[in-house]
Amino acid sequence: MKKTWLLGFGFFSISLGWSLYNGFVPFLLDNYITSTALIGFLMTIDNYIALFLQPYIGQLSDRTRTRFGRRMPYLLIGVPLAALFYALIPLHTGLISLLIFMLCMNLSMAIFRSPTIALMPDITPEPQQTKANGIINFMGGCGAIFALSIGSYLFSVDETLPFIAVSIFFLVSVWIVFKNIKEHRDTLSYYETTVPKINYRAELNSTTIYLLAAIFFWFIAIMGMEALFTLYGVNELGLSKSASAFSLAFFPLSFVISAIPSGILGAKFGKKNVIVIGVIGLIISFLLLNWVDSVIYLRAILFLGGIFWAFVNINAYPLIVSTGSEKSFGTRTGLYYLVSSLAAITSPPTLGYLIDLFGFSVLFLAAAGSLIVALIFISRVRDSSEQIEESL
């Protein structure tokens, strides 16, 4: 667990960087672009990059063998580059230079994101992976809170300060990870010095496909809800913009609080079982939200929904890596980000189109419907013993 907390600094910095980027870069784009839709598109560049780069870099890291390890080289290259371009973003001289710095920063982040995450199952025994994922997601949540609190203050003092601060933290975090995690020593299966031959057809078995489908549909529900909730609160419930945004904050708040307990529950009762409970709980929560007429009940149900989302999200990544061999952790990490990025791209416009057709009242009904589809797919996922039989 000590190694997990140290690795958590990597996740803290990733979440810190993305939260501050998503929070303040739109203000910089707004100085040059009048179209909100275009600004929104430019802010999803990372998802389009993830569609193509994350699976490739993930599987490439599975096959990498260096004296620094197989994941660490990507951190040692990607993190300093990301820190450089992150610091340059507020120093742009016009729209073109801003877009160039944004693109380079996104590409740099893509270099080390999958390898960083794949380090967790590399150094953690399978029974402990849900606990470890809870810890690193807790660290990630703290990074987001830190970005939106301290980062907001620094941005009000000088727009360059939060970007420079994050860049420095990038470098500090990669130094901490590099000094304390030695892949040759800490990775459970690194004794293989030869590049493994991965049977991708065997790895992409029916269980994996069902699980990837479930991940896609529950991310459709959650990402669409988070993207459109503030508009829902204003237009459907009559809340002010600030009250609507504050209400939504109860969802990620309870997620962060529940991250570590969700990992412990997954380790004790099984990853799939806890995920199924979480999906059912989310369906019930979203259906209940259609009938709330009180802000107190609204926030209470959102808080409860965040707990159920932790049940799902904390156990999902350990489950996807456990459905394959240790040789393919990086590949499976890339596939996880492939489907989540695809959901991030398609969810807001899809749910937005349904709202255009039927009104804002359809938001949580559509999200619940997507979760029901996810529940059908996750129920088809085989448990560990069945996976062993299938691999044999």
Average pLDDT for residues 70-82, to the nearest whole number?
A: 90
- Binning pLDDT at 50, 70 and 90, where does residue 385 land? very low
Give the H or E element holding residue 182. none
Among candidates 318, 333, 310, 313, which has minimal Cα distance to 116? 333
Residue 136's pLDDT is 85
Q: Give the least confident one: 17-26, 153-162, 219-228, 350-359.
A: 17-26
Going by pLDDT thresholds of 50, 70 and 90, the confidence category of residue 388 is: very low
As a whole-number percent, the residues of the chain with pLDDT over 90 amount to 35
- pLDDT tens per residue, range 122-137: 888 877 888 888 888 8
Domains of the chain (ranges; CATH) run 2-196 (1.20.1250.20), 201-391 (1.20.1250.20)
Burial tier of 271 (Cβ tally within 10 Å: 0-12, 13-18, 19+): buried
Average pLDDT over residues 152-167: 87
Contact 311, 277 (CB under 8 A): yes
Q: How confident is the model at residue 390 (pLDDT cuts 50, 70, 90)?
A: very low
Helical residues (DSSP H) of the chain, grouped into ranges = 2-30, 36-42, 45-62, 72-88, 95-123, 129-157, 161-180, 183-186, 200-203, 206-235, 241-248, 250-269, 271-288, 295-322, 329-358, 363-378, 384-391
The residue among 209 and 1 whose pLDDT is bigger is 209
Residue 391 pLDDT exceeds 50: no
Confidence tier at 193 by pLDDT (50, 70, 90): low
Instruction: Kindly report the average pLDDT of the chain as a whole number.
Output: 85
What is the pLDDT confidence band of residue 35, given thresholds at 50, 70 and 90? confident
Report the range out of 64-78, 90-104, 123-137 with the highest average pLDDT. Answer: 90-104
Q: Does residue 312 register a pLDDT over 50? A: yes
Q: Is a pLDDT exceeding 90 seen at residue 138?
A: no
Q: What is the structure's pLDDT at 25?
A: 85
Rounded to an integer, the average pLDDT of 292-313 is 93
pLDDT tier, 37 (very low <50, low <70, confident <90, very high otherwise):
low
- Give residue-wise pLDDT tens across range 222-271: 988 887 888 888 888 888 877 887 888 888 889 989 999 999 999 999 99
Opening angle at CA 211, ends 206 and 217, nearest 5: 130
